[in-house]
Amino acid sequence: MISVISAAFLVFFLITPAFGKTVEYDLFIEYKTLNFTGKEVKAISINKSIPGPTLYWTEGDIAKVRVHNRLEEETSIHWHGILLPNKEDGVPYLTTPPIKPGTSREFNFTVKQSGTYWYHSHTELQEQKGVYGAIVIYPKEKQEQPDREYVLVLSDWTDEDPHEVMRTLKRGSDYYMLKRGTMQSIYGAVKNKALADLLKSSLQRMPPMDISDVGYDLFLINGKKELSLPAKPGETILLRIVNASAGTYFYLQFAGDYLKVVSADGQDVEPFDIERILIAIAETYDVTVVVSDKGSFEFRATAQDGSGSISAFIGEGEHIFAPDIPKPDLYRMHGGHDMEMDMTDMNMGMEEHMRMMRETGKPANERPLPPYEHLRSLRPTALSESNPVRTITLTLDGDMERFVWTINGKILSEADPIIIRKGENVRLIFENKSMMHHPIHLHGHFFRVLNKQGEYSPFKHTVDIPPMGKQTIEFYAGEDKDWPLHCHILYHIEAGMFTILSYEDSAIDPEVEEARKDPANNLKKDMWFFWGKLSLLTQMGDLFLNASNTRNIFSIYREADWDGSYDMEILYSRYINRFFSILAGGNITDEDRRGVLGARYLLPLNIESRAWVDTEKELRISFEKKLQITDRFSLSGQFEYDTGTKSEWAAGGEWTINKWLSLTARHHSDYGTGAGVTMRF
């Protein structure tokens, strides 16, 4: 009997490693009150922590994670960069049912890889509130170990409710540019000797250059403003860096020697030294640094827009600080970096790049693009040439004024899935027509980023597409069902820069199919936003109200003097693109009522033009222009010609006090001159 038991135990012992051990976690998602800035705000934590706990697995493990929703709303967890069955991917209503309030869901999958990854909510804007954490997966076969390793989770924080942030972005407010100190103005252009550049951009109908969307209150590293990491002189430290931000790219640098990059997005690469890394949102990098005996050296992550930084000091003794990164020149740069310098840097050999850094004491480009050209896989990654090839071009574009972000001109609710077939080599060509970076993430797959490494091009799960830039990736289509492909700027996802890669003739999981019937399914809903503006001046007042989603805009505008004369427009507009929309509605005055039909068009110099014909067959044409003189002061003018009432015009100035209030002065040809306040709500 004993021998039978012993034999059974031996068989179990031998078999178990082949299947891997089971590693279990319980994640409790619940509300938490935090105070980072002196103001208490409602956040969402995982196991009472922001970020959530780091999950540790070993390649070959069976992961069993129970996610418990203690919120009053749905939630979800997506395992970013992890290869797993479609139904475990965690995107509500697309791959996985949502986790309803008061319920739990258990995720089960075999860990097929190693490296540094992360997890986060894929429900609305919860990630911004704190639902994210790191994942560390150790390789099955033992490798040379550093003396110590640390996980560094980078993130951004705003005291504002993320839904209010989204509404602010949708209304085209300049407030966040003012808050970040990135407002472009005529005074700023003159000061930077860039007036011609500003004029050229305006002639080309380009909006003011912007690097990021949101004005954040601060940035966090492992949920803190600053860290001290114990280490002894001479030790080699592995830093596992995760950019879990909702809207911020960071420049990474170390006050000591160069950063040695050993892995990107969990995939090992041939190690290389570099002075500075631009890490896109949702990317991970593993780097090593050597501890000095001359003090505690700073590892610094600086927001790409220059609005703040976070630090981890490694070692003991006096703090040694990393050099400051030059502020972006928004009048001449594209996406916060000098494109001409970057293209030169990209074509530069590694030996030449390092020679330049050592001779000058600074990187060849102080504000570089991500280091993709230096990423070289440890093994060949070329796809089999015997597979059929499908090539798809995807155009990324946006409208900063209305905060609409599209793929091939459509938001998610408008777009059909992109059909691919199992067994193909799928090549995606991204063309970015906007002036912002877009970190593109593909779920459930790793793709090759085609670079000068050729057969050894690196595998990644997220890739940056720079402003007005182009990038090509390719992957083997070896899965099934539907997989998301989207920009990982959280507010761009919500604004529509999201599409679906759908495997042909692939059945939807019954549980997911049932979930998609849920009335709460907002995967393809186009959200409506509401805002308004009220000006009260000594000679007149005006009120603007707006309700809109991506394509449909309902607006009311009423201006009146204090004697009872008024002019009111009630309009419906159909948005075509940022240059053109059509409109219909009514024009009501104290003397008349008429229907109107017309269009809006953006002219060179960013002059807003509008023309309509009314039911009395009279034509009205108007032009409007705003000039930002300083960060807070702007001038605006409007001219209107009507074949019935002839012309009228208005001109004025506005001094911005805060997000909600401005001081205003205006002359109107019909109502005279006055001053007062403008309130936004």
Kindly report the CATH number assigned to the domain that includes residue 76.
Answer: 2.60.40.420
Burial of 278 from C-beta contacts in 10 A (0-12 / 13-18 / 19+): buried
380 falls within a domain: no
Neighbour tally for 150: CB within 10 Å: 18
Percentage, residues of the chain above pLDDT 90: 86
> Domain check: are 149 and 95 in the same one?
no
Q: In what order do the strands lie in the sheet with 470-476?
A: 404-407, 389-399, 425-432, 470-476, 447-449, 459-460
76 falls within a domain: yes
364 falls within a domain: yes
> Domain check: are 132 and 151 in the same one?
no
> Domain check: are 440 and 470 in the same one?
yes
Residue 452 is encoded by which pair of tokens? Answer: 């000068």
Residue 113 is encoded by which pair of tokens? Answer: 């890889």
5 falls within a domain: no
Provide the residue range defining the domain that includes 229.
144-375
> Domain check: are 56 and 182 in the same one?
no
C-alpha angle with apex 285: 283 to 290, nearest 5 degrees?
160
Instruction: Please state the domain count of the chain.
Output: 4
DSSP string, 539-605: SEEEEEEEEE-SSEEEEEEEEEETTS-EEEEEEEEEEEETTEEEEEEEEEESS-EEEEEEEEEEEGG
Question: Dihedral angle at the C-alpha atoms of 322, 323, 328, 332, nearest 10 degrees?
Answer: -140
DSSP string, 387-429: S-EEEEEEEEEEETTTTEEEETTB-GGGPPPEEE-TTPEEEEE
pLDDT of 47-105, one tens digit each? 999 999 999 999 999 999 999 999 999 999 999 999 999 999 999 999 999 999 999 99
Pick from 84, 108, 143: which residue ends a domain?
143
646 falls within a domain: yes
Question: Dihedral angle at the C-alpha atoms of 665, 668, 671, 677, nearest 10 degrees?
Answer: -20
Hunting for tokens 């005074």 — which residue is that?
A: 187
> Domain check: are 570 and 431 in the same one?
no
**Residue 258 pLDDT:** 92
Do 547 and 527 meet the contact criterion of CB atoms below 8 Å apart?
no
pLDDT of 423-471, one tens digit each? 999 999 999 999 999 999 999 999 999 999 999 999 999 999 999 999 9
> Domain check: are 81 and 118 in the same one?
yes
Do 405 and 436 meet the contact criterion of CB atoms below 8 Å apart?
no
317 falls within a domain: yes
Residue 439 is encoded by which pair of tokens? Answer: 């970190």
> Domain check: are 403 and 537 in the same one?
no
> Domain check: are 221 and 359 in the same one?
yes
Task: Residue 666: give its domain's CATH number.
Answer: 2.40.160.40
Question: Dihedral angle at the C-alpha atoms of 180, 182, 188, 194, nearest 10 degrees?
Answer: 160
d(CA 46, CA 479): 30
Contacts of 144 (CB under 8 A, 6+ apart): none
* pTM attached to this predicted model: 0.91
Pick from 314, 342, 375: which residue ends a domain?
375
Helices (H), 110-225: 126-129, 162-170, 175-180, 186-191, 195-203
> Domain check: are 206 and 224 in the same one?
yes
Which residue ranges in the chain fall short of pLDDT 70? 1-19, 333-364
Specify which residues 154 forms β-bridges with.
221, 243
> Domain check: are 171 and 76 in the same one?
no
Query: H-helix or E-strand containing 489?
Result: none
> Domain check: are 333 and 433 in the same one?
no
Residue 553 is encoded by which pair of tokens? Answer: 């805009």
Closest CA to 134 of 201, 214, 57: 57
**Residue 523 pLDDT:** 86
99 falls within a domain: yes
9 falls within a domain: no
> Domain check: are 106 and 230 in the same one?
no
Helices and strands (H, E) in the chain, number of each type: 10, 43
Pick from 143, 163, 183: which residue ends a domain?
143
